[in-house]
Amino acid sequence: MKAVICTKYGPPEVLKIQEVNKPIFKDNEVLVKIISTAVNSGDVRVRGLVADGIMKLIMRLMIGFSKPRKAILGTVYAGVIEDVGINVSKFKKGDKVFGMTAFNFGTHAEYTAVKEKSYISLMPENASFDEAVSLIFGGQTAIYFIDKVRLSEMKSPNVLVIGATGSVGTAAVQIAKFNGAEVTAVCSTKGKDLMEQLGVSNVIFYDLEDFTKQSVQYDFIFDAVGKTDKKQCQALLKENGIYKTVGGFEYASESHEQLEKIKNLYEKGRLKAIIDRKFPLDRIVEAHEYVDTGRKKGNVIINVFES
């Protein structure tokens, strides 16, 4: 099968398309033909070994010293079950599924084998493969942080989402709104149309004004792009207000329930798929270059097979 091999840590050019063996699936695994995957901020971070100070060493220890131990990167997929192991009961050949492999990586390829009990679910019934795969990375991260602060238990919470136009930000805005929040978004003026599309009317454009100088206070401030710290936002927090950032030492963990939530929200029309650009697998280097800019709006999709 065709796969993208990360030959060493470095710029996008370290990625090479190669022919490798199709994965052999175990008795408790399913073989997925990947129709769509995505290049997320996490993928470019791994490829470039982007981390500060001691975190760089920790990253090397976790994912490989001089190059990624798992040569095929990519963590999200939407596709069709091509075959199932003899102990698999939840899925059958032909099922349309979507999921996340997390630290097992391996989705920037034509096929992947995953455990039936991993983060895999039937795709939202009304989603295309591109739409389904675009929901996962930002959706799971946003749900993790929003559930962590128990937003659904707050009464009409006032929420500030900083970095509202990224993969995590676009999901956070929508999921906070679903939980009854009054959302204010912080983004650049380039995000104006996108915020309209997501039904957010309170928007502060950071390239026009300093959002930390406003008089409004919030129950929850979520920095979905990791550009602030709590001290900077302290004056914007209500007395018992909570601040969370994706840029600190708290890492979102994946769960099967998050994937089910994403599926439900999408089927109910409460979560939109935000897709910025699409590239065929052969143009993976360009996709990484674009994600490296840190300016993408929503998600960047890789089309592996035609759907």
Residue ranges in contact with ligand NAP by CB under 6 A: 40-42, 45, 138, 141, 162-163, 165-169, 186-188, 190-191, 206, 224-227, 246, 250-252, 294-297
> Shortest Cβ distance from residue 121 to ligand NAP (Å)?
19
CB closer to ligand NAP out of 128 and 167: 167
Residues with Cβ within 8 Å of 83's Cβ and at least 6 positions away in sequence, in order, are 25, 30, 31, 93
Residue pair 181/162 in contact (Cβ under 8 Å)? The answer is no
> Shortest Cβ distance from residue 21 to ligand NAP (Å)?
31
> Shortest Cβ distance from residue 174 to ligand NAP (Å)?
13
Residue pair 72/109 in contact (Cβ under 8 Å)? The answer is yes
> Shortest Cβ distance from residue 247 to ligand NAP (Å)?
6
Among the listed residues 158, 213, 165, the one whose alpha carbon sits nearest the alpha carbon of residue 181: 158
CB closer to ligand NAP out of 27 and 196: 196
> Shortest Cβ distance from residue 58 to ligand NAP (Å)?
14
**How many Å apart are CA 144 and CA 162, to the nearest integer?**
16
CB closer to ligand NAP out of 158 and 167: 167
State the residue number with the nearest CB to ligand NAP.
166
Among the listed residues 276, 266, 307, 306, the one whose alpha carbon sits nearest the alpha carbon of residue 39: 276
CB closer to ligand NAP out of 227 and 238: 227
CB closer to ligand NAP out of 27 and 229: 229
> Shortest Cβ distance from residue 196 to ligand NAP (Å)?
15
> Shortest Cβ distance from residue 211 to ligand NAP (Å)?
9
Residue pair 174/271 in contact (Cβ under 8 Å)? The answer is yes
> Shortest Cβ distance from residue 91 to ligand NAP (Å)?
27
**What are the residue ranges of helices labelled H in 149-293?**
167-178, 192-197, 230-233, 256-267, 284-292
CB closer to ligand NAP out of 23 and 163: 163
CB closer to ligand NAP out of 87 and 199: 199
Which structure tokens are listed for 25? 């699936």
**How many Å apart are CA 179 and CA 182, to the nearest integer?**
9
Q: Which residue has the tokens 């699409």?
A: 278
How many other β-carbons are positioned within 10 Å of the β-carbon of residue 93?
Answer: 11
Q: Which residue has the tokens 């075959």?
A: 83
Pairing of the two strands 218-223 and 158-162 = parallel
CB closer to ligand NAP out of 24 and 251: 251
**How many Å apart are CA 286 and CA 235, to the nearest integer?**
41
Q: Which residue has the tokens 């963990």?
A: 253
